Structures are given as C-alpha cells and as structure tokens.
Copies of this chain bind each other. A is one copy, B any other.
C-alpha cells in the first residue's frame, strides 16, 4: 500500500461484485481523493476474516490513514469479527437487513450466496442461450436468426454494437444481434433490404466522428478506415439512414456499455428476460 494513500476494502462472502459497485459509485463522488481500492471476495470463514483484518491494519499503519470498508457479509459471526478493524465501516447488511426484517416480521436467512440464483436452471439456460445467440449473430454473421432476436443493433464498425449485445445477453438474457452498416449499404441512405422485415427490432448506435476516428486509429493507424473523412462520411450516412427509417438510436460517444444497454432497453421498451 502506498504511503499517504488511503485504502478502501470491498469485502464480501460472495463475489464482491455488489459491494465493489457500491464502492465505485460512492467514491466517484470524491474523485479528488486518491483511494486505493481492494476487493476481497469469498470472505466466508474465521481464517479469511483474520487475514483480511491483517491486511486492513497493515494499510492503516503504512498509510497513516483510516481505511474504508464497504461490506455485505451475511453471517453475524464473521461480520462481528470484521467490525474489530480500525476502518470506517459501511456495512450494507447491518444497515439494511434489520429494517427489512422488521417490515417482513422475519429474521434474515443468513445463508450465503442464495442471491446468486444457484442451480436456477431456467435463468442459466436463458443466459447461456442468449450469449451464444449474440456470438452467432455478431457482425451480421447469421441474418437467418434475426427472426428470433429481441433487438438488432445497427451502426458503423466500432460503434460499440458487439459489447452492448453481449452485455444485454449476460445481464438481461436478451437475444441481441448486430448488423454492421457496410460501405455498400452507405451508397444510399435507405435501410438495407435484408433489414426491412425487422424494422420494429432495429436500434441504432451512433458516435461522434472524432471518437470513432480515435478508436479506429488504435486498431489501424493511418488507414483510410480510420481517416477523418471516412469516419465523418460513415457517421453522417448512417445517421441519415436511421432518421429516414425512423429507427431509434443512441449516441455511444460518452456512454458505457452498461448505459448503452439500459438506455436502449428503456428507450425501445424492451423487457429483460432474466432478473
């Protein structure tokens, strides 16, 4: 741990993904603070908590700054151990299970990882099938399956279609295909013929030409593909095409994959297939 650098520990008895997400969104409100972030997943035994505590005390000692702990641990026993640390403790379960228990008139189950939907076969299959669908239907590879798609993303090459489709599949179990608008398609600003039957499923991604150029330069520096003129031309043509065909679209320039996926769903009114 660096000296004079505070550490935030995200500690969970499961994957740690949730406390990590909470930590990121909270710390993002204090971006001038340089906080080292450490995720400690699967802290589900007395031994592991002891090791974690040693790491936390070390961080406190070496930095001279009070560490932060953001945690969601189900077991009271393990949680109590963790509370012996010198850190500022933000304990999700401690803060929120009690009000919920009062509301429901029940004690929490105190079973770890039930939240991960273990052996939830339907959810598993939906997810896996959606992922394979996204791969098979990436980059216009298999138009024959567009019939079964929940959504078909359109856009120029490198506008973020592929990661968005895969995120939609993994997170929401949606069957998302994507189709790259090629240069032939751009000769006109009418929708490519093969897409017309699926107009209701189409959703466009566009992007600022400067950003597109930047992304493409990283891949093929100084190519025509990555040139200012080409990027400007493609974006202009595709945006006209989307407007003419009245296909809804988002500008991906400043959005993360998570934002693209969730904004797309609310804008197009697409419901998730898995929780």
Interface residues of chain A, those whose CB is within 8 Å of chain B, are 14-18, 21-22, 24-33, 37, 41-42, 66, 68, 70, 72, 74, 88, 90, 92-93, 95-97, 99-101, 103-104, 106, 108-111, 113-119, 121, 124-125, 127-128, 131-132, 135, 138, 158, 160, 162-163, 166-167, 170-171, 214-215, 218, 253-259, 261-263, 266, 275
Q: Is the interface of A mostly helix, strand, loop or mixed?
A: helix
Instruction: Name the CB-closest residue of B to A166.
Output: B166
Contacts of A101 in B (CB 8 A): 30
CB distance from A8 to the nearest CB of B (A): 9
Q: Are B30 and A119 neighbours in the complex by a CB distance under 8 Å?
A: no
Q: Are B256 and A117 neighbours in the complex by a CB distance under 8 Å?
A: yes
Q: Are A18 and B22 neighbours in the complex by a CB distance under 8 Å?
A: yes
Contacts of A29 in B (CB 8 A): 74, 93, 97, 100, 108-111, 114
What's the Cα separation between A135 and B131 when bound, in Å? 10
CB distance from A256 to the nearest CB of B (A): 4
Of B66, B114, B254, B263, the contact of A118 (CB 8 Å cutoff):
B254
**Closest 10 pairs (CB-CB, A-B):** A28-B115, A29-B108, A25-B115, A18-B21, A15-B262, A28-B114, A116-B256, A131-B163, A15-B258, A29-B109
What's the Cα separation between A97 and B138 when bound, in Å? 41
What's the Cα separation between A275 and B110 when bound, in Å? 29
What's the Cα separation between A27 and B117 when bound, in Å? 12
Known: A95-B95, A106-B30. A24 touches B88 (CB 8 A): no
Contacts of A32 in B (CB 8 A): 106
CB distance from A7 to the nearest CB of B (A): 12
Q: Are B127 and A257 neighbours in the complex by a CB distance under 8 Å?
A: yes
Instruction: Name the CB-closest residue of B to A123.
Output: B256
Contacts of A97 in B (CB 8 A): 26, 29
Q: Are B256 and A68 neighbours in the complex by a CB distance under 8 Å?
A: no
Contacts of A18 in B (CB 8 A): 18, 21-22, 25
Q: Are B26 and A96 neighbours in the complex by a CB distance under 8 Å?
A: yes
Q: Are B115 and A24 neighbours in the complex by a CB distance under 8 Å?
A: yes
CB distance from A150 to the nearest CB of B (A): 17
CB distance from A82 to the nearest CB of B (A): 16
Contacts of A17 in B (CB 8 A): 21, 171, 258, 262
